[in-house]
Structure formats: structure tokens, C-alpha cells
Structure 1
Amino acid sequence: MIYPENSIDKLGFTEVKELIKAHCLSEMGQQMVDRIQVMSNFEQISKFLSQAHEFKNILQNDAALPITHFYDIKALANKARLEGAFLTEEEFFHVYVSLTTVFAVIAYFNEREGQYPNLEALFEHLPIEKAIIRKIEQVIDAKGKMKPNASRELAEISAGIAKAEQEARRKIDQIFKSATANGWTADGSLTVRDGRLCIPVLAENKRKLKGFVHDESASGQTVYIEPEEVFTLNNRIRDLDFERRREIIKILIALTDELRPYVPLLLSYHSLLTKLDFVRAKALFAIDIEGELPQVVNEPRLRLVNARHPLLFLNFRKEKKTVVPLNLHIDDQTRVIVVSGPNAGGKSVCMKTVGLLQLMVQAGLLIPANETSVVGVFKQFFVDIGDDQSIESDLSTYSAHLSKMKKFVENANGKSLILIDEFGTGTDPQFGGPIAEAVLESLNHKKVRGMVTTHYSNLKIFAGNTEGIENASMLFNNVEMQPLYILEIGKPGSSYAFEIAQKIGLPQQVLNLAKNKISSEQKSVDSLLVGLEREKKEILDTRVKLDKQQRRVDTLLTENEKLKSYLEENKKVLIREAKEEAKNIILNANKLVENTIAEIKSNNADKEKTRDLRESLNRELQKNTVKPETPKKQPNDEELKVGDWVKLTDSETTGQVMEIVKDTVIIAIGDLRTVAKRKRVQKVSKSSVPKEVRRNFAANTGDIASFSPEIDVRGMRTEDALAAIERLFDRAVMMGYGNIKIIHGKGDGILRKMIRQYLKKYDQVDRLEDEHADRGGDGITYVYLR
């Protein structure tokens, strides 16, 4: 049950149906869309959702379904059911192409048996009766016309007509040539009058040509005559044409009689075509709105993940804008959500999104939400949106609201979904608030589920203190005074009445007067809500920043592990190669010594020969001697520059110079930064650095070498300047810089004050100092980092 009935229109469900109808190929499909109802049977809902999901999968991931023609064969079948009635050539052709489509679709799913079970169920046990197609093919051609040889009599009649037409044409051409030669004809050629081929003859010569005068020209100078010889032939052709028409009707009657036993089957085929058109339209609409199949449960609960209003989504897409997604849950613990916040902040859209998506799911439609969303089944919908005052019923706006509340309280239960917009408005807040609170308490006792929007503080307090009811607010940027359209569960929101009034430009004296007229308790409550909103925004920003930094740290750790693994692997390879080479050197040396000793013995220790052999042995051994590496001369400060490759003298670590500050060098080792004294650094050639290390450095430090710890924000708006400084600050901290320089100018000092207040909140900032008076003074701020 949906109360009131016009809630379907107010939630936008009627518009959704119209958009689905636009995708239908047939009038039958459109009629089926008009009959879409919100269901409460869990099995039916699941079946219809699965059908739409499977068809969407076909459209996106499978070969095209052979759906090309949809005709209303139900009306044709009912016509054929009547004794004595017959279908026309065109109607038989519609039956033919429709059945061709049906059989192609069934064959398509038979090839994919078991892949789309819910769609296959549409034609389960439906036979393929191709005898109908064969009977029609014998009579109707591919263009929907009667075949000339559909029967022996028709073939004879058609041949007689063709022969008579040929003879008539030959005869009239012969007479036309003779009349032209005699100068009887007017300028022109043969022409048709009253369906007869005639010769244009000059009026003064009409007695010279025997025949039937069919017409004359406007001037009366030309008459159109059908020659006597041809007149008889044309009459014969007309008689044959009548015979042909009678034979065609006879054939169509016979074919209709043969088709009549298949009428029930034709109706089944019609039902399949209509359902396919209907499901196809739902799937195409789901693709338009990026709809997904949520998890459906047979319980009155709801959990939406990244949900969007489908109509708003389509409108925003035309304008190349995006919809802020909605996340919420309604279950046994959180049954009713009380949404508060500023006007134009998105409260009503949020509530309408919940209502429309719930209606769509229970109507078997896919919804624009993450597939992890969980949607239950509600037996009743109670909706109070908009102004329903009635002159005929003598109801005011508030009276109309109260009438609905009466209906809600009397009929709602734990399986009902209530949606109430601007709860309690329309009368004196002093009395409307308590009445709304009493209604809400009564509904809560009945365990109803739903969502209400309000500005009343007593409802916010009641929601905060009552089990089963949860506060929620639409987030608001109170710096730029712009709504964020994000629903935050767990706390009430401020209406930002004074802030919005101030932004609009209401005079300050009016605002001050208004503030003095509200109670101190209300002031403190609203101030508290605004403060909570501001703190929540700061916490959210900080969390985003920390997440960003954590991702950066994780990346650095991963790169460091890769570099460490690479170095360890190279170390093992080098040691293994060195051991192998040393082993070979020792073997060769042993062989050389043994050969030398043998030579000495064979020469009986001749002194001269022994000396020559010893010198030869020394020369050979000298070849394998490792020369001690002579330490290179320490390059001076002028020789070392940013971008040079260097090695730490007390290790094999290689890096690239990022910055030189007096006798200190900042070195980049992959994604890591280190500071070393100048005397501990030794310059190396670029070619001596492994290619893998150079590529890694190029990929990770290309932008660091060009990094400048200085920024000029003069002329920027405060928000833009702070954003730019924050980006520079993050990079400076990650790169290990000791200070950054901010040029903000002097002016009135407002920008300087805002920047310094902003930087003081960071623990990494040690102190802030002005530039020297001769070089800019308090127009430049130095930020020294810890």
C-alpha cells in the first residue's frame, strides 16, 4: 500500500516509468511499463530484478540479442480466431517476422543454456512451431506481398494478365506510331487517364482515330483517346485483375484457416515478445543510470552504498556535473533517521532518493547504487512531501499534514516505510514541535522505519535521547557558506539561518536584532552545532591528509625494500663471481709455478736460465695482482653541483645531489633523503652508476631536482594561497628540507596573519621569522622546520 496515491508522482517514480517507455520497441511493451506496480512479494521482486540484471549483462557483455521486429500479433491472432475472417498479406507478413524473431531469441538462449536462467524461464516449455512459418512462406514473399505462384489458378491468372498487358502495349505503340506519322497527335507521348493508357490527339483529328475519349486538356486543343482495339484488351486485363483479387482472398482465407489452430500458441509468442521488450527497456534504462543489482532481503531494512537519485543523475550528466553519493542504513537499531541542516542543503533530495530507490527495487528495477547495497521489502509506504492543502476539502496546509499523520499513526507498523518532509511545519513552532515529537514517539513505538527532515530543535534532542531514532545532518561548508550535500549519520545539523542570511546580504542591524530575540539556550545549541560541524570538517580534512601521507610512506617503504633486495642480490652475484675468478687465478698460478720448477730442473739449475724463468714467472703473476685503488683527490666545493652522482666514502651507497648548503650536502637515495658532511662525499661518474639505479632515480626524483622551497602567493585569495602553501609544505617535509620561503607581500597584513596562523598548527614547524628588512622585511616569511 502507498499512501497517499500521488506519492508515486512526488517521489519521481512516474518520470522513471516514462523514461523506461522511451526504450520500448513496441506499443505492447509500453503498455506493460504503464502497468508496473510496486510489489511486496519477495520472490517476484527477486525474479524481476534478476531478469533485468541478466538482460543488462547481455547488452554489455554478450552478442546482441536478435530482436528486430515487434508487432501486435495478439490482435492478429484474435482476428484469425473468428470463422470466416482472414488476415491480409501485410498482417501475415507481421506474423511471419514476429515468429522469426521469437525463434531466433529461443535459439540464442538455447546456445547459452543455464547462463541466463531467469530469462530462459520466460519461454520455458514454449514449443518452436516452424510449420506456421513454412505455411506463410509458401504464400507471402520477403517483401510481404502475395507470391504470383501461390496457387495454380493465381499463376494462370498472373500469366494471362502479363500476356494481355504485353499485347495491349504492343498494339497501342503501333497505333501511336501510325497516328504520329499522319500528324494526328499532339506533342508528347503516351499518357495514363483513369488508369488507362491513352494517346494525346489534336482535337481537330479526334474523328480520325476510333476509340474512347477519356479526357481533354484545359485548353480543349488536345484529347486523350484509348484506341478501340486496345480498349477491348484493357477490359480483359481488368477482368483478369478482378479474378486475381478473388483468388488472393481465397488463398488468404485458406491460409487463415490453417493458422487458426495455432492461435493459442501465437498468443504465447506474443506474451514472450512483450516481456522481452519490457525487460530490454528496463535493462537499457539501468545502463543509462548506471544501475546495479543490490542484495535483496526479505526484511524491512535498507543499506545504501554510494546511491544516487536517478533523475538527478541524468540531469547532472547532461550538464557534465556529478551527483554526491548517499550512504545510510535503516535497520532494527536505527529505525528512523531525523535529518536536519540548512535550507537548500539536500535534505529533501536525500529523502526522495531513499523513497524512489526503494520503490524502484520493489518494482523490479535496478538502482544507481553500489552492488553491495542491501535493500529489503516494505509492505506499506507512507509519504508526506509537499503542500497538500485542498480548497474543496477545506483543508489548510497544516490540516492536510495532520490528516496524514493520523493515517500514519493508525496504520503504520514494523513493515512500513515513512517519509516525512519538514516534519511539524505549517503552524506555530511552539505547538507544532511538541505535536511532531508526539507523533514521532508514537511511530517509534510501532517500530516503523523511515526518514524525516526537520528544523525543530526539540526533534533533534528527542532523536538524540531515544533508542531507535538517529540524528543525521547534511554537511555544510561554513567558510564558503556552501552545502556539501553529504549525509552525516550520528549528529544533528544547524540550520545556519544567521550565516545564510548574512551571506545573502541582510543588514547587520537586522541580524543583531534577530539574535537578541532568541533565547540564550537556543543560541548555545546552534553555536554548538556550528562548532561541531566545523570540527568535523577539520577532522575529515586531517584524515584525508593523513591517508595521503600514509600512502606515500607505504610507497617509500616498498621502493626501499625493492632497492634493498636489488642490492643484496647484486652483492651475492659479485661475491660469487669474485670467488670463481680467484679460484681460477690460483689454479693458473699453481700450474705456472709447477711448470717453472720443472723447467729449472730440466736445465740443471743453470743460473742464467733460472733468472730468466723467475722473471717470466713474476711477470705472469703480476698480471693477476689487484692494484690498490688510489684515493681520488677530494673535489672542491666548486666542482660538486646539484645533480652530480656521489658515493659516501664510508659505504658503497650511491645517490644524487639535491642541494648543497655550505659544508653540508643533501643526497637523494631512491625515495630516501640523507644529509652528509661534504668531506664524507665522493663524486663518481654517471657511467659507473648501474643503469637500474639510474632509472629508479629518474623515475622517483625527476621532480625533486627541480623542487624549489620558495613560493610567491601575492595576489592570491586566502583559500588558494593556503592550499598552495600546504602542497609546498608537504613536499618540503617529505624531502627533508630545513626551511621554506613564503612571499606574501605587506598590504594590510591580513594574508600574512592568516598564513602564520595556519602554519602554527603543524608540529613540524619550529619557528617563523621575517626576512631581513633590507630584503623584504615582514612581506616575506621564513618557515623553519624541525
Structure 2
Amino acid sequence: MIYPQNAIDKLGFTEIRDLIKEKCLSEAGRLMVEKIQPQIKVDQIDRFLRQTHEFKQLLQHDEPLPVDHIYPIKPLADKAKLEGSFLSEDELYRMLLALRTVFNIIRYFNDREGQYAHLELLFEHLPIEKSIIRSIEKVLDDRGKLKNNASRLLEAITNEIIKSEQEARKRLDSVFKQAQANGWTADGGLTIRDGRFCIPILAENKRKLKGLIHDESATGQTAYVEPEEVFHLNNKVRDLEFDRRREVVRILTELTSEIRPHVPLLLSYHGLITKLDFVRAKALFAIDLQANMPILDKEASVNLVQARHPILYLNSLRDKNEIVPLNIKIDATDRIILVSGPNAGGKSVCMKTVGLLQLMVQSGVLIPADESSSVGIFKQIFADIGDDQSIESDLSTYSAHLSKMKHFTTFANARTLVIIDEFGTGTDPQFGGPIAEAVLEQLNTKQVRGVITTHYSNLKLFANHTAGVENASMLFDNQKMQPLYILQIGKPGSSYAFEIAQKIGLSKDILEYAKLKIGVQQKKVDTMLVDLERDKKEIVDTKYVIGKRERELVELKSKYEKLNSDLENNKREIIRNAKEEAKLILKDANKLIENTISEIKTVKADKDKTKEIRSKLNQSLDKHSKSLEKDAKNNKPVVSNVTPELEVGDWVRIEDSGSEGEILEITKSNTLIVALGELRTVLKRNRVTKLRSKEKSAAKKRISSIATESAADFYPELDVRGMRTEDALQKIELVLDRAVMIGYPSLKIIHGKGDGILRKFIRDYLRKYNHVSRFEDEHADRGGDGITYAYIG
């Protein structure tokens, strides 16, 4: 599929594999990464990509996967498979820890059934065989050592050894004291020689104490004697230890025989944990790259949007530089993109980005490009990059290029992606150009897809009038004389040879002489390309400005339409309310008039009575008018209460949490620095409420009592050995928070050594904890890197 084989190295895929290997937790996972190869089956590629994408989502948005102990199970299963063999205590303990991790992983995904559908395919129908763990736990303790009561005989032998050792030690102490009383002993206490307890005796007294001399000092002045009285007891202990070893071997052999029928299942567990480690490494690498899963296209096409070269992107993150993303499209219409432009303008990076991202996708690795990008599947990827001259094969640089062109034109087809750098170079341009054009025509006839970089003008002209081959150029700012690293499809680019030479400082005489040497036609072509480049840049800049203004106009139009809509709604609401109010006024007025007419009729138009009734009518109307004026005054906007001014020393309550604290400082940007006990926090003014005097006193008492209680019962040492990573980190967080709260300067965390996984997670967490200024190992004599001191400041 890949030709030549070193194309994988030249495109940078080997470096990608090495970076993924660094993310693996197990050697089996690293070996799996080493075997990554581009695939051609769409379903298989899709499954690999989706598994990586799902694991990336899990790492970013879900609880951590329980991968505390990843040990290789296969070597242990292979050993257990042999009849008569047995696994040692350490091997059984590693198997136990690995199986616990496997079972926790299976439960993790069972609890999220359906959420990670493609990851679940890795362990479909894989059972949790608890009997293996139960069998091991019967004979091993929590430290991985054989239990003394693993069998009745072992318990009896162990008790007898303890009893015999105590008796021997008692006798030895008695003899030692007697020898000291007689003045026979040298300086120092009891010591061990050849695995036996001995008494240091002065050389001149060594015959006075009956026993076996095991050793003597370098000076010869001290002899180390095992007294005769304890010799037979020590021999008894030695015999018992041999008996115990035989019983241990019997127990381990029996346990291994119990495990042997489960060897196929153990190998399946090994496969699961290896595959998960492999996919996890790819997902972690994708997070580093900010990579996404592209759309898979069954057609042989490429449409990369905002794509970045992975290695350059990682370097830019480290160096805090920005790289210009690439947009490129290869399809049935524009099959071959011929990229031209200035040297060091980004042509080769553009070409390698396409080739490398294609290899990554077909290998199931997410790519640093927008998720709207689409990538097809190619059955063959051919590349001609760099110098492949060979002394052994008697190949010059150009001969090596021609050998590859022969292979390309013979075996390439419509499902082939061709990547060629500096097409046609290596020989006399007068002949290299036409040969390259003939090869390009042949590749185009075969419907090949690809990206080719060149400086040859004849190839640019060929692409200009040939269907299927499209010119493209890397933009160059000929005012500032620097490349822009932007790919522009549709027009060829100038090499800017004279302009770059002038910028470097080459003599004007040399440049003028060189211009005389090139053909008039070639000079016109190059001048035309430079002018086109300049015009194109102006058009691009103008389009950008126009596009920006159009977006601003669309935004303003949207705001205007919303405001207009709100005004219309308010207007309709005001008119509706006014009409309702007018109806009520007319109704009351009609009622008042009808009552007045009725009263006038009742008094039969008596002048005095009529005058009195009219007076009442006028009073009612005046009263109604005053009511309307009062309503109008009440409808004026009400000014809200002004927030009380805050000063340093005031006590406030945080609205969203209910915590209370004292203002230490008010910054120029009108934000507050508030003390919550020993903690300090920065808050906006509108998030707090000033406490009244009674509330302030109560808050002070609460803070004081909390600090006193915490300081009294706080213990600055924490033991998390044997705990799951998640539980350990939660416990550490609680104790750290209390330490910060009461102002304690340091915390001692005992996590043990093991394989260093728990230590790594703990120290990663401490790096992110704002109040931890530094951390360090305990002294080597007192635990070394099995203990971490975290300093708070």
C-alpha cells in the first residue's frame, strides 16, 4: 500500500507513533502502537476512529477510568498453562491486581451501557470470573505475601518456627550476657553471619566459648561464634524453614492448578487491557493535538478544513507560536493540486500535512483539523520526498526520482494518493521539466489524486489548461518580503527568486546580470505571476474587510429588528390597556349620566334640585380627573435603592454560596478581596451583600470557632496506600482544604512506591492545586519517593 516503505518515515508517521507510545501504561500497549499500519477497509477504519473519539470524550467529560494497576497477564497465563509449574507470590499478586483493574473497567462500562458503544465492542460478552480472585485472596494477604494460615500444615510449621526462634534467641541472649560478664566479648552486640546469630568474641577468648566460628573481623581481633547451646536449635529452625518452603510450593502449585482452566479467559483479559491501553494512548495524544474525528468519505477525496501539521502544531504549543491552518480540497474535479510559490513559503509543509493526516486517518488516529473535514480512503499512497540516492544500487538523486516515477505511472490508479516534492528536479531543467510534464499527464490520465510541489513554469502552464490538474500557490507578501503560509487555490505562484535574493543582500550587479540571462518570455511569465499575486492579495484583503462589514451589518440589522419588534409589542400593549381603561371610563360616565337624568326626572325639573344634582355630577368628574393624575404620577419610573457603599473591614455574605467573610481590599477595577477564614478569594461587588452589625458579630464567632476546632483536631499526615486513585485524591483534597483553612504549612502523604502510578496521579493533582507551592520526596532513609511532602503557601 505504501511506496516506498521509507515514505512513512519521510511523512513523519513514525514520529507520531513514538509520541503515542509515550502515552501507554504497558509494554503490551507500546508493542501494539508499534504495529499501527494504515488500513483500507472503511468499516474497520471507522470503528478505530470512533473508539478513539469515544475514549477522548470519556477522558474529557466523564469520571476517570480505573487503570490503577496494568500488569501484563499473558506471561503469567502462559506460565500457568504448563502442567506442574507454579506462579510465585509476586506473580500471583500482580495477577490479582491486574484482574481487579480489569473487573473495575468492565463494571465501569457496564454502568454506562450504550454510552460508549464502540468501546464496548472491545470486551463484548467478557464475563467477570470472580473465582480466580477469590482463590488468590484465600492464600495471599493485602501485601501480596502468603498467609500463615493458607493451610493447617503451614500454620503449624510457622508457629513451630516462631517458637524455636524465640527459644534459640532466649538461649543466645543468656550465653551472650554470660560471655559479657566474663569479659570475653568484643564491642558491639549480636550479629548475623552465614544467616546465623553469632556473638562477637575477642580472638584470645574464642576457645573459651564452645561453639562454631563462622567468621572473623578484617583485623583478626574479633571472632564471630555461634554457641554450641543454640546450634541444634538453629538447625531445627533451618529444617523447619525447608519444610515451610516445601509447603509453600505445594500451596502455590495447587493454586496455579486451580487457575489453569481459566487461562483462555486470562488471555482475553490481557487482550482487553492491552487494547484499552492502546486506545487510551491515542485518545490522550488526540487531546494534546486538539484533534477531531473527520467525516469518512467512501470516495477517493480529501477536504481538509483548518488542518495543522501535528508535529509543527505541538512545537508551536511548546514555543507559544501560532501556525497558519491549511484548507485544501482534492476531489474528482480537481484531482491533482500543483503547489508553487516561494522557497520557505510552506509548500512542502502543505504537501506533507495532506500525506501525514491521510496516513493518520487510515491508521485510526484522530487528526488536528476541523470536525467538518472529510477524508476518503486510498488503497495506495505513493510518496517521492527528499534525496534517495544510493551508492550500493548505483542510483543518483535523479535516477532515484525516475525509479519512483516509473513505479507511480505503472501501478497508480484512481484510488492512489500521490505526494511529490519538488517535481522534476535533480537534472537539467531543460530536460527535467518536459519529463515531469509527461509523467504528470500520465498520472492525470490514470485519474490519480495527489499534491505536487514545483518551481517549473511549464508545469504551471500545463495545469492552467488541463482538466483535473489545479494550480495553487503559497501566498507571499511582496511588500514585507515574507511568506504568509496561506494556500490559495486557482492560480500559480512565483518563486520570488530575485526578490528573495535582493532581501538577502545579493549584489545588484549580480541580480541584473542574472535577469539578462533568463529568457524574455520567462521573465514576462514571472512578472505576470508576481502581479497576479499582488492583485490576489489585495482581493483577499478586500474580501475580508467586506465580509467583516457584512457581518457587522447583519448583526446591527438583527438588533434593529429585535428592538423594532419590542417597540411594536409595547405599543400594542399600551394601546390595548388604554382602550380597556377608556371602556371602563365610558362605562362609569354613562352610568353616572343615567343616574343624574333619573334623579332630575324624579324631582320633576326643580331648579334648585337640578342645580344640586349637576353640582354632584361635576364633583364626580373632578374626582375622576384627580384619580387619573395620581395614577400618572404613580406610573413614573421608580428609582431602586442604592447599594450601600462597601469599605475595607466590612463583613459581607456571598450570594451564591452563603459564605461570610471580611473585605481585605477593594481594587481599582472595583473588585473585592475577601478573607474566608484563612482563605482569600476575589469577587465582583454585585455578588456580595453587606452584613448588619448583629450578623457581623455572629459571622466572626462562627469563623473563629471553625478555625479553633480545625486546628485542635487536625493531623498533617495522610496514608493512602492501597486506596483507589479516585478515593485517594478525594481524601487528599479534603485534608488539603482543611490545612489551607487553618494555615497549616505542610502535609505528609504516604502513598507507597509500587509502580509509581498512584504517586504520579497524586503529584499531578498537587501541581494543579493553587495553594501548594512545592512538593518533594521524604529522605531516602525514611521512605524516599514512597512519601510526598506538600508545602502550602
TM-score normalised by the chain length of structure 1: 0.74
Looking at structure 1, the residues matched to 30 and 610 of structure 2 have their Cα atoms a distance apart, in angstroms, of 114
- Using a 3 Å threshold, how does the CA distance of structure 1 residues 469 and 77 change in structure 2: closer, same or farther? same
Matching of residues 415-434 of structure 1 within 5 Å: 415-434=415-434
Deviation at 1:598, TM superposition (A): 5.4
Amino acid at match of 2:396: S
Q: Is the 8 Å Cα contact of residues 76 and 87 (structure 2) preserved in structure 1?
A: yes
Amino acid at match of 2:492: P
Deviation at 1:618, TM superposition (A): 4.9
SS at match of 1:138: helix
Amino acid at match of 1:13: F
- Using a 3 Å threshold, how does the CA distance of structure 1 residues 522 and 253 change in structure 2: closer, same or farther? same
Looking at structure 1, the residues matched to 120 and 625 of structure 2 have their Cα atoms a distance apart, in angstroms, of 84
- Using a 3 Å threshold, how does the CA distance of structure 1 residues 166 and 33 change in structure 2: closer, same or farther? same
Q: Deviations over 1:184-230 (max 9, x none)?
A: 54454333333223334455555554443444445555444433323
Q: Deviations over 1:469-525 (max 9, x none)?
A: 111111112221221111111111111112212222223333233223323322222
Q: Is the 8 Å Cα contact of residues 73 and 266 (structure 1) preserved in structure 2?
A: yes
Match of 1:274 in 2: 274
Structure 1 range deviating more: 620-629 or 156-165: 620-629
- Using a 3 Å threshold, how does the CA distance of structure 1 residues 115 and 523 change in structure 2: closer, same or farther? same
Q: Deviations over 1:543-574 (max 9, x none)?
A: 22222222222232233233333333443444
Amino acid at match of 1:27: E
Amino acid at match of 2:139: V
Looking at structure 2, the residues matched to 132 and 575 of structure 1 have their Cα atoms a distance apart, in angstroms, of 82
- Using a 3 Å threshold, how does the CA distance of structure 1 residues 580 and 2 change in structure 2: closer, same or farther? closer
SS at match of 1:212: strand
Deviation at 1:380, TM superposition (A): 1.8
Match of 2:563 in 1: 563
Match of 1:338 in 2: 338
Match of 2:198 in 1: 198
Match of 1:404 in 2: 404
Identical aligned residues as a percent: 63
Matching of residues 364-379 of structure 1 within 5 Å: 364-379=364-379
Q: Is the 8 Å Cα contact of residues 424 and 436 (structure 1) preserved in structure 2?
A: yes
| Structure 2: tracts of 5 or more residues without a match | 630-634, 641-793
Matching of residues 415-564 of structure 1 within 5 Å: 415-564=415-564
Match of 1:144 in 2: 144
Match of 2:42 in 1: 42
2:134 is aligned with 1:123: no
- Using a 3 Å threshold, how does the CA distance of structure 1 residues 565 and 299 change in structure 2: closer, same or farther? closer
2:286 is aligned with 1:307: no
Q: Is the 8 Å Cα contact of residues 476 and 533 (structure 2) preserved in structure 1?
A: yes
Q: Is the 8 Å Cα contact of residues 600 and 606 (structure 1) preserved in structure 2?
A: no
Q: Deviations over 1:287-336 (max 9, x none)?
A: 22222222223332222222211111111111112322212222222111
Structure 1 range deviating more: 488-497 or 613-622: 613-622
Match of 1:754 in 2: none
Matching of residues 47-66 of structure 1 within 5 Å: 47-66=47-66
Amino acid at match of 1:401: H
SS at match of 2:268: helix
Looking at structure 1, the residues matched to 588 and 225 of structure 2 have their Cα atoms a distance apart, in angstroms, of 126
Looking at structure 2, the residues matched to 369 and 200 of structure 1 have their Cα atoms a distance apart, in angstroms, of 76
Deviation at 1:595, TM superposition (A): 7.0
- Using a 3 Å threshold, how does the CA distance of structure 1 residues 187 and 63 change in structure 2: closer, same or farther? same
Looking at structure 2, the residues matched to 557 and 103 of structure 1 have their Cα atoms a distance apart, in angstroms, of 59
Amino acid at match of 1:457: S
- Using a 3 Å threshold, how does the CA distance of structure 1 residues 256 and 507 change in structure 2: closer, same or farther? same
Amino acid at match of 1:347: K
Looking at structure 2, the residues matched to 485 and 600 of structure 1 have their Cα atoms a distance apart, in angstroms, of 100
Looking at structure 2, the residues matched to 202 and 409 of structure 1 have their Cα atoms a distance apart, in angstroms, of 93
2:64 is aligned with 1:67: no
- Using a 3 Å threshold, how does the CA distance of structure 1 residues 583 and 354 change in structure 2: closer, same or farther? closer
| Structure 1: tracts of 5 or more residues without a match | 630-686, 693-786
Looking at structure 1, the residues matched to 40 and 586 of structure 2 have their Cα atoms a distance apart, in angstroms, of 90
Looking at structure 1, the residues matched to 456 and 258 of structure 2 have their Cα atoms a distance apart, in angstroms, of 74
- Using a 3 Å threshold, how does the CA distance of structure 1 residues 345 and 691 change in structure 2: closer, same or farther? farther
Of structures 1 and 2, the larger Rg is shown by 1
RMSD value, Cα: 3.1
Q: Is the 8 Å Cα contact of residues 213 and 223 (structure 2) preserved in structure 1?
A: yes
Q: Deviations over 1:319-354 (max 9, x none)?
A: 112322212222222111111111111111111111
Amino acid at match of 1:405: M
Q: Is the 8 Å Cα contact of residues 303 and 329 (structure 2) preserved in structure 1?
A: yes
Looking at structure 2, the residues matched to 497 and 189 of structure 1 have their Cα atoms a distance apart, in angstroms, of 88
SS at match of 2:172: helix
Q: Is the 8 Å Cα contact of residues 357 and 367 (structure 1) preserved in structure 2?
A: yes
Looking at structure 1, the residues matched to 636 and 421 of structure 2 have their Cα atoms a distance apart, in angstroms, of 74
Matching of residues 166-245 of structure 1 within 5 Å: 166-181=166-181, 183-203=183-203, 206=206, 209-218=209-218, 220-245=220-245
- Using a 3 Å threshold, how does the CA distance of structure 1 residues 624 and 520 change in structure 2: closer, same or farther? farther
Deviation at 1:60, TM superposition (A): 2.2
Q: Is the 8 Å Cα contact of residues 330 and 450 (structure 1) preserved in structure 2?
A: yes
Amino acid at match of 1:339: V
Deviation at 1:135, TM superposition (A): 2.2
Looking at structure 2, the residues matched to 16 and 67 of structure 1 have their Cα atoms a distance apart, in angstroms, of 24
Amino acid at match of 1:485: Y
2:103 is aligned with 1:103: yes
Amino acid at match of 2:261: P
Looking at structure 1, the residues matched to 122 and 568 of structure 2 have their Cα atoms a distance apart, in angstroms, of 65
Q: Is the 8 Å Cα contact of residues 600 and 610 (structure 1) preserved in structure 2?
A: no
Deviation at 1:456, TM superposition (A): 0.7
Looking at structure 1, the residues matched to 299 and 568 of structure 2 have their Cα atoms a distance apart, in angstroms, of 59
Deviation at 1:46, TM superposition (A): 2.5
Structure 1 range deviating more: 585-594 or 274-283: 585-594
User: Across the two proteins, how many residue pairs are aligned to each other?
Assistant: 634
Looking at structure 1, the residues matched to 155 and 50 of structure 2 have their Cα atoms a distance apart, in angstroms, of 53
